[in-house]
């Protein structure tokens, strides 16, 4: 039997998932790598994976390193401490989630002892939450990831892969995500939220400007729909955008549930919704959209290349 690889996964907040897409991705991927005989460690941040800091999850080792609790520096500082901890351990391969901290990968690649794989994610520098200097740094970090810091790139959308071909003339392996298929909504499954089947539209995402929740709320209110708009998702820091969303929804049939994690909870909200509304604009393949498709939701999505390529497989979408 071939000996498995010792793999470090860095760049998410940790597993089990309690925040966003990369966390869901890591939760689904890493136990499967363990099942294939690999020794996998996921680096985590305290405060995102529940009250109990477990040492392992479904055979995956979990390690927690410190970080600065500041919006602009949280991920960079955490990845720095992850890398500092990891160099003392005999990893064969690093799987980095995103390009944001790519300049920190350079010493690892220079050592030539470990394989560096970078999942490119979406176009992080296009996110509206970042100021101009932040966007400039993120574009630079993307360039470093492609030109200097990685042995292999992985993209979860064909359009993202094409972007790297067009921009850098660099190949990125297309490995997309999947979704579980669910069909049955148990009786009473929505009672904890005082919802009824078919009585709500659903948004499930991080509370970020580039997910266009403000646009969806405005159009929902203007439509005069008798149904509710239920918004599932959280944010790490109080921002003017969050306050804007609260103001837009106040006095209307708009409800913010906050983060919803736990066995089948978000799935029940999907299975019971009248339609799923998806406003993501910066790409790649989003797990929330795939989850909606797996629950056979009727989807209304922002027309982007990333959303369109996924919805080609959906029978009900606009």
The three state secondary structure string of 82-117 is HHHHHCCCCCCEEEEECCCCHHHHHHHHHHCCCEEE
pLDDT single digits (tens) 261-308: 888 999 999 999 999 999 999 878 888 899 999 999 999 999 999 899
Both 159 and 210 in one domain: the answer is no
pTM beyond 0.85: yes
Contact of 48 with 27, CB cutoff 8 Å: no
Both 159 and 203 in one domain: the answer is no
Both 27 and 99 in one domain: the answer is yes
Q: What is the pLDDT of residue 2?
A: 64
- Which of 19-28, 83-92, 219-228 is predicted least confidently? 19-28
Both 162 and 250 in one domain: the answer is no
Q: What is the pLDDT of residue 22?
A: 87
Taking the C-alpha atoms of residue 17 and residue 19, their distance in angstroms, rounded to an integer, is: 6
At 315, is the pLDDT very low, low, confident or very high (cuts 50, 70, 90)? low
Residue 44 above 60 pLDDT?
Answer: yes
Both 35 and 142 in one domain: the answer is yes
Domain harbouring 71, CATH code? 3.40.50.2000
pLDDT above 70 coverage of the chain, percent: 97
Using omega within 30 degrees of 0 as the cis cutoff, is the peptide bond preceding 150 cis? no
pLDDT single digits (tens) 139-198: 999 999 999 999 999 999 999 999 999 999 999 999 988 889 999 999 999 999 999 999
In a domain, 1, yes or no: no
Query: What separation in angstroms does the CA of 9 have from each of 58, 68, 73, 192?
Result: 15, 20, 19, 35
Q: What is the pLDDT of residue 266?
A: 94
From the number of C-beta atoms within 10 Å of its C-beta (0-12, 13-18, 19+), residue 302 rates as middle
pLDDT single digits (tens) 101-115: 999 999 998 877 899
Give the count of alpha carbons within 13 A of 305, CB side only: 13
- Domain of 214 in residue numbering reads as 191-311
Both 135 and 229 in one domain: the answer is no
**DSSP 3-state of 312:** coil
Q: What is the pLDDT of residue 316?
A: 57
Both 307 and 170 in one domain: the answer is no
Both 14 and 132 in one domain: the answer is yes
The two tokens of residue 96 are 């980095």
Both 206 and 247 in one domain: the answer is yes
Which residue is associated with the tokens 């470090």? 8
Residue 237 above 80 pLDDT?
Answer: no
- Report the Cα 282 to chain-centroid distance in Å: 12
Which of 143, 174, 205 is the last residue before a domain boundary? Answer: 174
Q: What is the pLDDT of residue 263?
A: 86
From the number of C-beta atoms within 10 Å of its C-beta (0-12, 13-18, 19+), residue 194 rates as exposed
Q: What is the mean pLDDT of the chain?
A: 92
- Looking at residue 178, the DSSP 8-state letter turns out to be -
In a domain, 185, yes or no: no
Q: What is the pLDDT of residue 318?
A: 58
In a domain, 86, yes or no: yes
Both 102 and 242 in one domain: the answer is no
In degrees, rounded to 5, the angle at the alpha carbon of residue 195 between the alpha carbons of residues 194 and 200 is 145
Torsion angle of the four alpha carbons 52, 57, 61, 67, in this order, in degrees rounded to the nearest 10 = -40
Which residue is associated with the tokens 């992080």? 124
The two tokens of residue 83 are 């890398």
Taking the C-alpha atoms of residue 34 and residue 50, their distance in angstroms, rounded to an integer, is: 22
- Which of 18-27, 58-67, 154-163 is predicted least confidently? 18-27
Residue 78 above 90 pLDDT?
Answer: yes
Between 314 and 238, residue with greater pLDDT: 238
Q: What is the pLDDT of residue 317?
A: 57
What are 56's strand-pairing partners? Answer: 61
In a domain, 317, yes or no: no
Q: What is the pLDDT of residue 287?
A: 86
Both 147 and 240 in one domain: the answer is no
Residue 1 above 60 pLDDT?
Answer: no
Taking the C-alpha atoms of residue 11 and residue 65, their distance in angstroms, rounded to an integer, is: 12
**DSSP 3-state of 14:** coil
Q: What is the pLDDT of residue 18?
A: 72
Count of the separate structural domains present in the chain: 2
At 313, is the pLDDT very low, low, confident or very high (cuts 50, 70, 90)? low
């Amino acid at each position: 039997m071939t000996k498995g690889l010792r793999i470090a996964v860095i760049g998410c907040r940790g597993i089990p998932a309690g925040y966003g897409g990369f966390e869901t991705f890591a939760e689904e991927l890493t136990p499967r790598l363990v099942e294939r005989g690999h020794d996998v460690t996921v680096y985590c941040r305290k405060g995102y994976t529940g009250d109990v800091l477990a040492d392992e999850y479904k055979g995956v080792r979990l390690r927690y390193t410190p970080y600065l609790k500041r919006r602009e520096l949280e991920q960079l500082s955490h990845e720095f401490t992850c890398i500092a901890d990891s160099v003392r351990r005999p990893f064969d391969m690093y799987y980095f989630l995103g390009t944001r901290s790519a300049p920190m990968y350079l010493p690892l690649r220079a050592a030539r002892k470990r394989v560096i794989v970078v999942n490119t994610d979406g176009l992080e520098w296009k996110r509206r939450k970042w100021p101009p200097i932040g966007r400039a740094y993120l574009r630079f970090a993307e360039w470093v990831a492609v030109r200097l810091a990685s042995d292999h790139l992985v993209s979860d959308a064909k359009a993202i892969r094409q972007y790297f071909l067009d921009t850098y003339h660099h190949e990125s392996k297309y490995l997309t995500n999947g979704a579980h298929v669910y069909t049955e909504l148990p009786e009473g499954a929505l009672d904890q939220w005082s919802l009824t089947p078919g009585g709500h539209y659903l948004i499930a995402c991080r509370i970020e400007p580039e997910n266009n929740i403000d646009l969806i709320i405005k159009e929902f209110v203007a439509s005069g729909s008798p149904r509710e708009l239920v918004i599932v998702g959280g944010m790490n820091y109080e921002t003017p955008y969050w306050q804007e969303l609260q103001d837009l929804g106040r006095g209307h049939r708009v409800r913010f549930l906050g983060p919803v994690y736990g066995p089948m909870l978000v799935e029940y909200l999907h299975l019971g919704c009248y339609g799923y509304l998806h406003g993501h604009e910066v790409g790649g393949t989003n797990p929330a959209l795939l989850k909606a498709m797996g629950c056979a939701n009727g989807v209304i999505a922002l027309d982007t290349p990333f959303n369109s390529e996924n919805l080609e497989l959906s029978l009900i979408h606009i």
